Structure 1
Amino acid sequence: MKKIKQVKSYIILVLLFLFTNVVIAQEKKISPTSQELYNEIEASDTIIFNAFNTQNFVLFKSMFTEDLEWFQDNGGLLSYETVFKNFENMFKNENKLSRKLVKGSLEVHPIKDYGAIEIGIHEFRHIENGKEEIGTFKFVMIWKKINNQWKISRVISYDH
């Protein structure tokens, strides 16, 4: 009986050891975000949404890659052509939609040999039926650095 308890204790110790090693091996092994990368993405976000807010369609469109994929929870996967046809029509609207990044929500993470992930929450405002409407939504943007210029290649817009 004593030997059975010892074997059980030994098995438990081995399992704990193995479990601990698995947990340690699963620690994050990603590069930390540098302040420089954070600042570059924050500045690029400001540029693109200043263009959006002032309805500067040419500048806005130039900040996306032509292989853009835009995933929207309530609209599905949208192509580059569809996205910009929608924005072009939106910019012609009278309701003057504007976007503001929610303070403190911005996260930036590097993507090795590609660019960066931007995660955040933004607020959109517009006038509808004479009343200001405000919506707060979450987003993920994949930025690609091409010839020293940041462009968005993927967008995930959700929580609408």
Structure 2
Amino acid sequence: MKRKQYLWIRLALIILILTFANPIHAQEKKVAPTSAALYHEIEQMDQIVFDAFNRKEFAKFKSLFTEDLEWFQDNGGLLSYETVFTNFENRFQNENKLTRKLVPGSLEVHPVKDYGAIQIGVHEFRHMENGKEEIGTFKFLMIWKKKDNQWKISRVVSYDH
């Protein structure tokens, strides 16, 4: 009888060891990696959008967004296409020389199957206020939609203000 108990205890111990000794494997990511081509396309589109912004080329800037744009801002809430571009039109008429620059090394690009890409990064805005240059650094996420071989921004999340 004792021999049977010993065998059961030994078997249970072996099962325990085998169960916990095997390394636990995390699930494999099944997301397509970002290609260098996609990364450079989005990097170039970022440059185009913000060159238009920095030059106050309102029509060109506006044309790089979808009409169903949703803009989420941590301190401003959800803004519609109309509100966003009314605000930008007013800002472009202001003489404070607001400019934007992508922080080097902060750009991330991720593909979105059958839609486009996600862009994540940090950008810096500069402007003059009361004779002094003000600089703000903020985080953002943009969803780019590629339709008919043209890239446009459909969603913006601006945060960490």
What is the TM-score normalised by the length of structure 1?
Answer: 0.91
The whole-number CA distance in structure 1 between the counterparts of 2:102 and 2:15 is 55
Q: Indicate yes or no: 2:18 matched with 1:13.
A: yes
Distance 1:113 1:4, change over 3 A: same
**Residue 20 of structure 1, CA deviation:** 2.4
Give 1:125-136 correspondences, 5 Å limit.
Answer: 125-136=126-137
Distance 1:11 1:128, change over 3 A: same
Please list every run of 5 or more consecutive structure 2 residues that lacks an aligned counterpart in the other structure: none
1:91 alignment counterpart? 92
1:78 alignment counterpart? 79
What is the root-mean-square deviation in Å for CA atoms of aligned residues?
1.6
**Residue 12 of structure 1, CA deviation:** 5.1
Q: Which runs of structure 1 show a deviation greater than 4 angstroms over 4 or more consecutive aligned residues? A: none
2:115 alignment counterpart? 114
1:64 alignment counterpart? 65
**Residue 4 of structure 1, CA deviation:** 3.0
The whole-number CA distance in structure 2 between the counterparts of 1:5 and 1:86 is 74
User: Once the two structures are superposed, what CA deviation does each residue of 1:69-89 show, in whole Å capped at 9, x if it has no partner?
Assistant: 101011111111110011011
2:36 alignment counterpart? 35
Distance 1:152 1:16, change over 3 A: farther
2:140 alignment counterpart? 139
What is the TM-score normalised by the length of structure 2?
Answer: 0.90
Q: Report which of the two structures shows the higher radius of gyration computed on alpha carbons.
A: 2
1:20 match: secondary structure: coil
1:33 match: secondary structure: coil
Please list every run of 5 or more consecutive structure 1 residues that lacks an aligned counterpart in the other structure: none
**Residue 11 of structure 1, CA deviation:** 3.9
Report the residue type matching 1:86 in the other structure.
N
More deviation, 1-10/52-61? 1-10
User: Once the two structures are superposed, what CA deviation does each residue of 1:87-120 show, in whole Å capped at 9, x if it has no partner?
Assistant: 0111111111100000111111111100001111
The whole-number CA distance in structure 2 between the counterparts of 1:12 and 1:103 is 49
1:52 alignment counterpart? 53
2:146 match: secondary structure: strand
2:9 alignment counterpart? 4
